[in-house]
Structure 1
Amino acid sequence: MTVLLSTILTLSVLGILAAVILYFVAQKFKVEEDPRIDEVEKMLPGANCGGCGFAGCRAMAEALVLRDDISALFCPVGGAECMKSTAAYLGKVAPEKEPTVATVRCGGVCGKRPRTNEYNATKSCVIASSFYVGETACAYGCLGYGDCVDACKFDAIKVNPETGIAEVDPDKCTACGACVKACPKGIIELRKKWPKNRAVYVSCVSKDKGAVTMKACKAGCIGCGKCAKVCAFGAITVENGVAYIDSQKCKLCRKCVNECPTGAIVLKGMDPLPKEPKAPAAKPTAEKPAAEKPVAEPKAENKSVNEQK
């Protein structure tokens, strides 16, 4: 009994002594944290989506407080107002950035992109694309298995069961970029967000030749370049057989929409331009009949005046 009590007493003393030593060591080597970090973290939306490039809002708050220049930092969820209030609290210049929205660049709905086979494995875009091009002949389009839906924390993207294509709700989208990273096909892009959710973009990323693209999807881009020719702002380029509209240069003139022969250019939030009536073909002018040449009168034959006697 005495041995047991002495053992317990010894261990208790050692534990208390170790705790005291650890306390003084922690006080000696502790790192003082800027109290403003906690305040800035409260100003951020707390989504922890990673859209800012950091692991979460806490890491973003630390960067905002500790960096002198915060022009490269931006919270897509909080937006410009959040960054202005944060910068004002820290006495720094707020970064400016145009609002963006996620855009699914695929228009291969069920009626235009017929199925060629059936997929019965795990419904995951990443798994499917690792060994399989999809249930259609297009190797570039949306698979429709919803990896982007699972990645979105704001319920801003859904797969339309009627079309099999992912669709973004621009009013809910925060442009965090989670769906962009989740898409193995690379068809989701962050593009400039226009007022009233207006948009003009090419809903195709196929790099196949025009004939191959049209065989797989009737709504695909064939790279004809007609849209680029009518664009007066240099916003459209054609590369690797597919057109691309730069949302920073586009002025929403909508001329390219009417010019696209396959309907690959999508127009949202606006009515298309009225199509110009084609000028009637000029009637061919009838050729005038050639003037008849006057027929020369036969020359009078010189008759012999010799008289036979």
Structure 2
Amino acid sequence: MSLLVITIISLCAIGVVAAIILYVASKKFHVIEDPRIDKVEEALPAANCGGCGFPGCRAFAEATVKADDLGDLYCPVGGSDTMAKVASILGQEVEDKKRQIAVLRCNGACEHRPKTNIYDGATSCSVASLTYGGDTGCEYGCLGMGECVDACNFNAMYMDESTGLPVVIEDNCVACNACVEACPKDLLELRNVGPKSRRIFVSCRNEAKGAIAKKSCEVACIGCSKCFKECKFDAITIANNLAYIDDDKCVLCRKCVPVCPTNAIHELNFPPRREPRKDKAPAKPKIENIEKPIVLKKPKEEVKDNQSTNDIKKEE
């Protein structure tokens, strides 16, 4: 028997023995997977965006099956409807959560924030934020290189060339949190959509003192506390020279908006405010407590006496 034949037979024998060992090991150490994982994964939107905090929908499905309570687990893409399906599969109950949307907390458009230098480097917000503060006097503002737009997988953002700022498309945003994590300046935040998509928030992240912030951006929050004093619901806090509105406490009364001297507070999707009519004549002031003139009347007896004296004079 030649050496070549012996080699072939030996390799085949080794392959067969290895296959047998692997088969026995797979049967011995086989892990039975919960069939509910597949059902939960089918109910999920299969976006694999990571907005739930897990690397993909499969990992999220495994976490929901292992969890005793779904209160801390939420799929932002599917929303409350998807979580209701997941809860029904697992025989659990889940509370409805408010839908959220990404908002940009920077109002420093080109017209409000003049440039002080020209950046000539990598067109990446992460790289630029490590090398310098920005091409304007505000080191907290948007760099305008669109890294948040690139991170969005749902076509929910685009860069506005006129302002140099990203714009969120409300109908497409699923609150996956990808843009929030992509922004090195922490300018994007997930907030409640609000009734009728109405929202109020401070569109600024500048923590510099009032005069410095106003010099770098004319619409920056200067921490004057006027909105804080106006709010009657404890929804506004002032920290690090910056105001912040808690959307869970805000009742959308809009009283804080007109008192802001720099227009740093944004109100979205509200009807226009009613302005007083200029052609309307001013109302006449009401005169109260006017004393009526006192009219003195003669008694009836005196009237009769006067009549009698007049008759006597006529007779004479």
TM-score (norm 1): 0.87
State the alpha-carbon separation in 1 of the partners of residues 274 and 208 from structure 2. Answer: 31
State the alpha-carbon separation in 2 of the partners of residues 271 and 202 from structure 1. Answer: 19
* Corresponding position of 2:111: 111
1:93-242 counterparts in 2 under 5 A?
93-242=93-242
Structure 1 runs (4+) greater than 6 angstroms displaced: none
**Amino acid of the structure 1 residue aligned with 2:62:** E
Shift of 1:272: 4.7
Shift of 1:276: 7.4
**Amino acid of the structure 1 residue aligned with 2:257:** V
**Amino acid of the structure 2 residue aligned with 1:162:** S
Q: Is the CA contact (8 Å cut-off) linking 1:255 and 1:273 kept in structure 2?
A: no
Q: Is the CA contact (8 Å cut-off) linking 1:191 and 1:247 kept in structure 2?
A: yes
Structure-2 change in CA distance of 1:232 and 1:272 (3 Å): farther
State the alpha-carbon separation in 2 of the partners of residues 36 and 234 from structure 1. Answer: 45
1:226-265 counterparts in 2 under 5 A?
226-265=226-265
* Corresponding position of 1:298: none
Tell me the SS of whatever aligns to 1:112: coil
Tell me the SS of whatever aligns to 1:145: coil
State the alpha-carbon separation in 2 of the partners of residues 131 and 167 from structure 1. Answer: 25
Mark the runs of 5 or more structure 2 residues left unpaired by the alignment. Answer: 278-316
State the alpha-carbon separation in 2 of the partners of residues 6 and 154 from structure 1. Answer: 61
Structure-2 change in CA distance of 1:243 and 1:272 (3 Å): farther
State the alpha-carbon separation in 2 of the partners of residues 136 and 6 from structure 1. Answer: 78
Shift of 1:95: 4.1
Shift of 1:199: 1.3
* Corresponding position of 2:270: 270
RMSD, matched Cα: 1.6
Deviations 1:140-181 (A, max 9, x none): 011111111111111111121110111111211111111111
Mark the runs of 5 or more structure 1 residues left unpaired by the alignment. Answer: 278-309
* Corresponding position of 2:4: 4
Shift of 1:275: 6.1
Identity of matched residues, %: 52
Shift of 1:20: 1.2
Structure-2 change in CA distance of 1:183 and 1:51 (3 Å): same
State the alpha-carbon separation in 1 of the partners of residues 272 and 255 from structure 2. Answer: 9
Q: Is the CA contact (8 Å cut-off) linking 2:36 and 2:89 kept in structure 1?
A: no
* Corresponding position of 2:32: 32
Tell me the SS of whatever aligns to 2:126: helix
Shift of 1:258: 0.9
Shift of 1:189: 0.8
Q: Is the CA contact (8 Å cut-off) linking 1:258 and 1:273 kept in structure 2?
A: no
* Corresponding position of 2:300: none
**Amino acid of the structure 2 residue aligned with 1:34:** D
TM-score (norm 2): 0.85
